């Protein structure tokens, strides 16, 4: 399943409070969409699908919100160096994804 079919660029821009006509970062944001979906699948231990089949999980609103929050985190912290304290994935994102996590997934 294509990550851009799961989360649209307009949804990401709304999450980031960017206007839909701001397009300077579109390629970057599309990359973050793909990365967030991939990270969510690895974290949960299943791939996403439209229907609940063996080895997959339905991409539901909680997972989507977690992906949008993860994308916002990546966008806000996109520099390799900073004067501010950095943190790992925000606890809220993990909380949204952990309930769907397969046992023994590391």
Q: Which pLDDT score is estimated for 25?
A: 96
User: Does residue 70 belong to any structural domain of this protein?
Assistant: yes
How many CB atoms within 10 Å of residue 60? 12
User: Does residue 17 belong to any structural domain of this protein?
Assistant: yes
User: Does residue 32 belong to any structural domain of this protein?
Assistant: yes
- Output the domain CATH number for residue 90: 1.10.3230.30
Q: What is the pLDDT of residues 26-59, one digit of tens each?
A: 999 999 999 999 999 999 999 998 777 777 899 9
User: Does residue 106 belong to any structural domain of this protein?
Assistant: no
Q: Which pLDDT score is estimated for 87?
A: 61
Q: Which of 2, 55, 68, 57 is nearest to 29 (CA)?
A: 68
| Residue 13: pLDDT over 80 | yes
Instruction: Give 77's pLDDT tier (boundaries 50, 70, 90).
Output: confident
| Residue 106: pLDDT over 70 | no
Three-state SS string over the chain comes to CCHHHHCCHHHHHHHCCCCCCCCCCHHHHHHHHHHHHHHHHHHHCCEEECCCCCCEEECCHHHHHHHHHHHHHHHHCCCCCCCCCCCCCCHHHHHHHHCCCCCCCC
Instruction: Give 89's pLDDT tier (boundaries 50, 70, 90).
Output: low
Full residue range of the structural domain in which residue 56 is found: 3-98
Q: Which pLDDT score is estimated for 59?
A: 93
User: Does residue 103 belong to any structural domain of this protein?
Assistant: no
**What is the number of structural domains in the chain?**
1
User: Does residue 22 belong to any structural domain of this protein?
Assistant: yes
User: Does residue 47 belong to any structural domain of this protein?
Assistant: yes
**For all residues of the chain together, what is the average pLDDT?**
87
Supply 25's token pair.
């970062």
Torsion of CA 39, 45, 91, 74, to 10 degrees: 0
User: Does residue 83 belong to any structural domain of this protein?
Assistant: yes
């Amino acid at each position: 399943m294509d990550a851009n079919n799961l989360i649209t660029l307009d949804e990401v821009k709304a999450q980031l409070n960017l206007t839909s006509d701001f397009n300077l970062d579109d390629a970057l944001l599309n990359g973050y969409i793909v990365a967030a979906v991939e990270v969510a699948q690895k974290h949960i231990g299943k791939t996403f699908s439209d229907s609940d089949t063996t080895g997959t999980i339905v991409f539901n609103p909680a997972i989507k919100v977690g992906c949008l929050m993860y994308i916002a985190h990546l966008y806000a912290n996109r520099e390799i160096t900073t004067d501010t304290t950095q943190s790992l994935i925000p606890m809220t994102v993990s909380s949204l994804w952990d309930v769907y996590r397969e046992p023994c997934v590391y």
